[in-house]
Structure 1
Amino acid sequence: MTEVNEREADLLRVGRWLQSWSAQLSSEVCGIGVDLEEVVRWEGPLRLEALFTPAERRYCEGKARPARHYAGLWCAKEAAFKALSGKITVNLRELEVVHTADGAPKIKFLTPVGNVKPLQLHISITHTSTLAAAVALYTHQL
């Protein structure tokens, strides 16, 4: 499979996931964000401390292929930022990707988000050997 076909397949999978998942929500969708990164951009020497929290760096460095996970976490932050844009003022450095006990990713806000409706930010991250992608869905209860 060529790199372009692999990208298209990843985007189609993300789109199908979003359609099936959003149909089941009992919430109002306030924002959607998507991001796609090439894993190779996260290999080699980078200033990771400027982009990721110590906990995020420990998580990625504990994996067999850290670059895939750095790319995935970055996509999650970018997707969350895009989903929140125009609704909540937030800086990428104020977002941390954490994982639940079962491994599901969640966004943790490192600073207060202000007076907003009850915030639910749903995140999904995926990666292949060459690409990472994430989708963020910002909702509030109906």
Structure 2
Amino acid sequence: MTYRAFTYTASAWLSAALVTISGATVMASSLRLEESSVFAGKWQATLSSTLDDLRAQKLQDKASNTCTVELLANKTVGQGADCLGAWLEQAPIGWFPDPDGLSITGNEGSRIQFFSRQRDGLYLATLKSGLIVTLERTAPNN
């Protein structure tokens, strides 16, 4: 009787472990790392105070809350780096794709801001200040 109880307990633990391991594998494989070429090109960066205000802020199109940022194919930030840097409080130098978004790097190559993927061509980051920066594709990649 004791032997049978041990077998059932061991089977239950083994089953739980296999389900957990296979679930983690499925989740990890569902996030794919996009090619760098998907991100290279021009993006519109918009600074807003809340998600609710995002559309209103874009309609205002003030120079202080929108700018064009160019992510170059060599994984550096071109035009608009100064504008984006003013919001991030550090100059963006480079970028790299993440499975669930896009990372902007500083002069030492370390990540200074992560933008999470909302949908194709739209990425969002919440700054320490609580302000929101969105990056939206403006033109197809070259």
* TM-score normalised according to structure 2 size: 0.29
* TM-score normalised according to structure 1 size: 0.29
Question: Which structure would you say has the larger Rg?
Answer: 2
Greater relative contact order, per chain length (Cα 8 Å cut-off, separation 6+): 1
Query: Which of the pair is proportionally richer in helix?
Result: 1
